[in-house]
Structure 1
Amino acid sequence: MNFSFTEEQEYFRKILKEFAKDELLPQYTKWDREGITPKHLWRKLGQLGVNGLRIPAEYGGSSADCLTTGIAAEEIGRGDFNLTYAVMLNALIGEIITKHANENIRAEWLPKIASGEAIIGIAITEPSAGTDAGGIQTTAKRSGDTYVLNGEKSGISVATAADAFIIFAKTNPQLGNRGISAFIVSKDTPGLECTSYEDMGNVSIGRGSLYLQDVEIHADHLIGQENEGFAQVMNGFDLSRLLIGLQCAGAAFQSLDETIEHVKIRKSFGKPLAVYQGVSFPIVTHYTQLEMVKWQAYRGLWLRDHGQKHSKESASVKWLGPKYSQEAIHECLLLNGHYAYTKEMPLEQRLRDVIGLEIGDGTAQANQMVIAKDIIGRDFRSY
């Protein structure tokens, strides 16, 4: 088994590591304090090729493999956790549009996503349908050459920053999960209202709710075949969950690196903190856990690149990646002392930001259900 990256991948990692350190990390806390989505940095990431990694070259992307996309998630996560959405969200949406949308949609939106000119959100979750994504109540009724959408979406990332959304709605409620379709809807479409939340973390992502009241769109805004939207997005989650694990691990590894430097310098009772096992052993524990999650994530991405099953790998990374990362960052905050409890240091924000992804894209319980279904059997829940 070969765990090494190619020369091109190592070069890409080096570029992103330097960019994250020099341009992202110094301003990471700025956007949280000001409540701003730094769209200029999304465009900068577009120039670096980050936004279009999973978009074909003919549409301005780089047609990169999933493994390379994971490298971007990890390294950007070290500099600015929230800007990693430009990797994770765009990879998910880029795949959905590339694989399922018509040529008009691909030609209009993929180049804008790749360049950072446009930010696209994905709207599935509703007030009464989170983990049970198939339980959404938003409807899309066909009327001649148009669809009319009505409903509410909640907890939507980039709700206040996006230029458009991929909205999932029931086109045939009698079919359950098999009656869900996906549509691309511009933010300025009449009848669509976007509101913001005052979140604990992920502030610069601009999370919020969408309200759809008689939102009328042309039938060619349908992505893929009618009633097949659920299958499209569930396959995409296997990618986004792996990227989320690396996104969280990147933030946690950066926190460990900063903390290691601190405990080597800071003295207590005449000795550096690092010499005490009560300090060094927790660092070792968190480092080891994060390394295991990281390599499980890269294994899952390798499996996806080779067309092999990877749902349980993806679920395990999404379950343990945010969990181990927030535990590591919490430990780092404590080891840095009372200054780390202030907003003068980035640790408290990383902790708040990472906790958000213990919920988004599948809770711990939801991901454990995916793993159980795979290793025990699909019918185990009927007993």
Structure 2
Amino acid sequence: MLNFTFSNEQEYFREMLREFSLNELLPQYTKWDREKTHPRHLWKKLGELGVNGLRIPEEYGGSGADCVTTGIAAEEIGRGDFNLTYAVMLNALASEIISNHATDQLKKTWLPQIASGDKIVGVAITEPAAGTDAAGIRSTAVHKGDRYILNGEKSGISAATIGDAFIVFAKTDPSSGSKGISAFVVPADAPGVECKGYDDMGNVPIGRGSIYLTDVEVPEENLIGLENNGFFQVMNGFDLSRLLIGLQCAGAAFQSIDETIEHVKTRQAFGRPLAKFQGVSFPIVTHYTQLELIKWQAYRGLWLRDNGKKHTKEASSVKWLGPKYAQEAIHECMLLNGHYAYTKEMPLEQRLRDVIGLEIGDGTAQANQMVIARELIGKQFRPY
């Protein structure tokens, strides 16, 4: 049986989030970018609405929601405030890593605080010399007595300047490549941790930056899962975050299209509404159609994940084309709205800047095409 409908509970959740997103988030969306601040109070508000803890089990303060429901949250929050969608995407990735692999003590310590919005936990993998090639990280974690000593630099980390802790990936066996990587929970205020922000083009409120680790000591119990197994823990999580990113970007683009449709129906040129010109309506139709394709591929991938089926190539196709189609749609909307859309009085220019950032994060277009080729053709024919 093929069924493309959401449950009544999911439809209610969507309607609730749509109303909250458009009425409470959208009016302030550009404010945080201009002020270069993170709206911590809204992150906590999302915790009250159950958004932060969607992928956290009920026993730890979450709702244990399925992946499709989590995707609904990403799409709807993306309409109002693109950057606050990290409360869905980043929390889902961090929560799954901790829920599936950490000790009971780490779960009890961090999961309830992530769900409530009291704590923000980032994921620190990327390094100056290891972006797409995550297995090439150089940060080290040396086991000494009852603790690990971490040294290295993480770069391009979301929530670097606003995070309360980070899931840090480091080499525990430098001779073993990707098999020698482990994951640790590292508090942001631990001695030896220094976080510095970037002056980014977009995603300003999410506090992207670098994390410097100098002889940082963490207890053994902060190790997540098995030693030397961290790389494989996180790779499965990327399949989820990539699907959510596609919906996050689609939400921002769909909202831009909705706003633009209202504009072209009322704005007159040459004695008639702009919407009557095919040069205006056809581009809107093109972008809407492309985004619908991405949207339903994303929900299909989330459904596959919920049902324990392979979804790696679906996730990579959504991550490859979702941000691309979204930024193209938002760019077109900016042009159709005229010169006011180029000002900071409208949200379009910021959406464009914000979405472009996710053409890079969580795997570039080229990296995701490599993943698809590997899944489609076979590992032995993987392109380099």
User: Fold match, TM over 0.5?
Assistant: yes
- The residue that corresponds to 1:102 in the other structure is 103
- The residue that corresponds to 1:88 in the other structure is 89
Q: Does 1:365 align with 2:338?
A: no
1:107 maps to a residue whose letter is K
- The residue that corresponds to 2:207 in the other structure is 206
Give me the whole-angstrom Cα distance separating, in 2, the residues matched to 1:197 and 1:226: 32
- The residue that corresponds to 1:339 in the other structure is 340
- The residue that corresponds to 1:37 in the other structure is 38
1:51 maps to a residue whose letter is N
- The residue that corresponds to 1:166 in the other structure is 167
- The residue that corresponds to 1:183 in the other structure is 184
- The residue that corresponds to 2:222 in the other structure is 221
Q: Tell me if structure 1 keeps the 8 A contact 2:373–2:382.
A: no
- The residue that corresponds to 1:328 in the other structure is 329
Deviations along 1:327-350, one digit per CA (max 9) or x if unpaired, are 000000000000000000000000
Give me the whole-angstrom Cα distance separating, in 2, the residues matched to 1:328 and 1:382: 30
Q: Tell me if structure 1 keeps the 8 A contact 2:182–2:227.
A: yes
- The residue that corresponds to 1:67 in the other structure is 68
Unaligned runs of 5+ in 2: none
Deviation at 1:8, TM superposition (A): 0.3
2:168 maps to a residue whose letter is I
Counterpart of 1:379 in 2: which secondary structure?
A: helix
- The residue that corresponds to 1:111 in the other structure is 112
Counterpart of 1:142 in 2: which secondary structure?
A: strand
Which contiguous aligned blocks of 4+ residues in structure 1 show a shift greater than 4 angstroms? none
2:365 maps to a residue whose letter is A
- The residue that corresponds to 1:230 in the other structure is 231
Q: Tell me if structure 1 keeps the 8 A contact 2:257–2:329.
A: yes
Q: Tell me if structure 1 keeps the 8 A contact 2:370–2:383.
A: no
- The residue that corresponds to 2:9 in the other structure is 8
Q: Does 1:286 align with 2:287?
A: yes
Deviation at 1:381, TM superposition (A): 3.3
Give me the whole-angstrom Cα distance separating, in 2, the residues matched to 1:77 and 1:130: 25
Q: How many residues align?
A: 383
Give me the whole-angstrom Cα distance separating, in 2, the residues matched to 1:292 and 1:18: 24
Taking structure 2 as the reference length, what is the TM-score of the superposition? 0.99
Q: Does 1:152 align with 2:145?
A: no
1:67 maps to a residue whose letter is V
Give me the whole-angstrom Cα distance separating, in 2, the residues matched to 1:350 and 1:304: 29
Give me the whole-angstrom Cα distance separating, in 1, the residues matched to 2:165 and 2:375: 35
Give me the whole-angstrom Cα distance separating, in 1, the residues matched to 2:383 and 2:339: 50
Deviations along 1:72-98, one digit per CA (max 9) or x if unpaired, are 000000000000000000001111000
Give me the whole-angstrom Cα distance separating, in 1, the residues matched to 2:372 and 2:106: 35
Deviations along 1:26-60, one digit per CA (max 9) or x if unpaired, are 00000000000111011000000000000000100
Alignment of 1:305-320 (within 5 A): 305-320=306-321
Q: Tell me if structure 1 keeps the 8 A contact 2:52–2:114.
A: yes
Unaligned runs of 5+ in 1: none
- The residue that corresponds to 1:79 in the other structure is 80
Counterpart of 2:379 in 1: which secondary structure?
A: coil
Counterpart of 1:37 in 2: which secondary structure?
A: coil
Deviation at 1:382, TM superposition (A): 7.0
- The residue that corresponds to 2:58 in the other structure is 57
Counterpart of 1:49 in 2: which secondary structure?
A: coil
- The residue that corresponds to 1:247 in the other structure is 248
Q: Tell me if structure 1 keeps the 8 A contact 2:169–2:181.
A: yes
Counterpart of 2:47 in 1: which secondary structure?
A: helix
2:230 maps to a residue whose letter is G
1:196 maps to a residue whose letter is G
Give me the whole-angstrom Cα distance separating, in 2, the residues matched to 1:38 and 1:273: 37
2:67 maps to a residue whose letter is C
